[in-house]
Amino acid sequence: MKVTYENSPVRSITALQRLAFKTSTQQNISSTIQLASKHKPFTIYSEQSFSRERQLLNLLQEGGFNFYVRHAEATIGVDQPFLSFYDCNTQRNLSNVGRQQAIAYGETTRSLDIPIDYPIISSPFCRTRETAALAFEQENKEIDPFWAEVYQLADPLPPTERVRIINLVTSALELAPSPGTNKVIIGHNFPESVGLGRIPNMGTVVIWPRGRGLGYDVIAKLSLRDFQSLL
């Protein structure tokens, strides 16, 4: 059963704490979430202890999560009204800083021994495709045109269209990756209080998928610096 945009499919952290998980991985997830505040997902900050970072890293190394990652910094050019996915000159593209961010993201993932479910899924925009290629190599990415629709959420869409996109996002994020791995989706920012909310350049939303029709839980929101701090 799909829920509407007004009734988010993402359960609160407080509700998640009350669930009785049966597998060891799920028990670890419950413990990690209890470290977070009652109203926010687990987020790494400089003042938090090393043990929290280690616990989160252990979970990511076990796999079972979806990573929704915003593309790296893109400040070159502008998105034209009638842009073409096949013509990068009609779009906003990665800056030199953005390219370095994408490379650093891939290096950090490998250094942390986080298992990835290939191929990486990317929006068809040039900036998301380049981010995926720089982080995980060109041959390891796959384009999914749907993720370009997240970009459209910033526009004044009819309510029914907004609901349709959010429901499709939920349908994708609630599906589990291959056992022992994490699925990476490289896409776009969300508007404030919509879907996964605001995400910094090269930021990661770590998602625990509950299965088809059951929604998902946001476990962590990490900036690139947060992610690198797990090293």
3-state secondary structure of 187: strand
Question: What is the spatial order of strands in the sheet that 66-70 belongs to?
Answer: 141-143, 116-122, 182-187, 66-70, 204-209, 216-222
pLDDT at 29 over 80: no
Q: Cα dihedral angle (165, 167, 168, 174), rounded to 10 degrees?
A: 140
Q: What is the pLDDT of residue 182?
A: 98
Residue 173, by phi and psi: left (phi above 0), alpha (psi -120 to 50) or beta?
A: alpha
Instruction: Report residue 48: phi and psi, to 5°.
Output: -80, 155
- Domain 13-228 belongs to what topology? Rossmann fold (3.40.50)
Single out the residue of 140, 145, 134 nearest to residue 74, CA to CA: 134
Are residues 65 and 98 in contact, defined by beta-carbon separation less than 8 angstroms? Answer: no
List of residues 6+ apart from 165 with CB closer than 8 A: 149, 150, 152, 153, 157
Task: Give me the mean pLDDT over the 33-45 stretch.
Answer: 42
Task: Give me the mean pLDDT over the 106-130 stretch.
Answer: 98
Share of the chain above pLDDT 70, in %: 78
Task: Give me the mean pLDDT over the 166-176 stretch.
Answer: 97
Q: What is the pLDDT of residue 122?
A: 98
pLDDT at 111 over 90: yes
Single out the residue of 143, 182, 145, 186 nearest to residue 165, CA to CA: 145
Q: What is the DSSP letter of 139?
A: G
Single out the residue of 143, 102, 97, 108 nearest to residue 123, CA to CA: 143
Task: Give me the mean pLDDT over the 217-227 stretch.
Answer: 95
What type of residue is 6?
E
pLDDT at 12 over 90: no
Task: Give me the mean pLDDT over the 92-108 stretch.
Answer: 98
pLDDT at 132 over 90: yes
Are residues 8 and 213 in contact, defined by beta-carbon separation less than 8 angstroms? Answer: no
Q: What is the pLDDT of residue 5?
A: 26
Q: Is the pTM of this model over 0.85?
A: no
* Structural domain boundaries in the chain: 13-228
Q: How confident is the model at residue 50 (pLDDT cuts 50, 70, 90)?
A: low
